[in-house]
């Protein structure tokens, strides 16, 4: 069985604290984020695993660190990966707010 997808957890912090959370995410952990140089290294090393085509950005809630998330998606895309985002969509309470968040 080949590994086709890698899950990249940018942080374990989250703006929610769900009892069913599989990673025990918490608002207390929001400040702790994967440094950009480490993120870049992970993507670079993943590039040399030919079976992996998809990089999933997750957390916690990865949109709480938009600079890191944007870097990761852009860098992974430039390397030819399909990217996927796992989010609780707190930023999309209305259509206009969602559109604004996705465009910015
Ligand atoms: S990561 Fe998801 S499941 Fe975990 S606390 Fe946040 S919203 Fe809830």
* Alpha carbon distance 24, 71 (integer Å): 25
User: Token pair of 93, please?
Assistant: 């309470």
The answer as to whether 95 is a domain residue is: no
Mean pLDDT of 84-93: 96
The answer as to whether 94 is a domain residue is: no
The neighbour count for residue 52, using CB atoms within 10 Å, is: 16
The answer as to whether 99 is a domain residue is: no
pLDDT recorded at residue 63: 96
Q: Is the pLDDT of residue 104 over 80?
A: no
Q: pLDDT tens for residues 31-78?
A: 999 999 999 999 999 999 999 999 999 999 999 999 999 999 999 999
Number of compact structural domains in the chain: 1
pLDDT recorded at residue 1: 87
The answer as to whether 34 is a domain residue is: yes
The answer as to whether 21 is a domain residue is: yes
Mean pLDDT of 26-35: 96
- Tell me the residue range of the domain where 82 lies: 5-88
Helices (H), 9-104: 36-47, 66-78, 95-103
- Regarding the beta carbon of 14 and ligand 1, being less than 6 Å apart is answered yes
- Regarding the beta carbon of 88 and ligand 1, being less than 6 Å apart is answered yes
The answer as to whether 19 is a domain residue is: yes
- Regarding the beta carbon of 28 and ligand 1, being less than 6 Å apart is answered no
Strand, coil or helix: what is 10?
coil
pLDDT recorded at residue 102: 85
């Amino acid at each position: 069985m080949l590994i086709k997808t890698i899950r990249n957890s940018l942080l374990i912090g989250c703006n929610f604290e769900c009892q069913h959370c599989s990673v025990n995410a918490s608002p207390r952990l929001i400040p702790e984020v994967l440094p950009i140089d480490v993120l870049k290294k992970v993507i670079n090393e993943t590039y040399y695993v030919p079976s992996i085509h998809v990089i999933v950005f997750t957390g916690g809630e990865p949109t709480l660190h938009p600079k890191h998330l944007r870097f990761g998606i852009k860098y992974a895309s430039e390397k030819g990966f399909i990217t996927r985002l796992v989010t609780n969509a707190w930023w999309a309470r209305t259509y206009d707010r969602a559109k604004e968040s996705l465009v910015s």
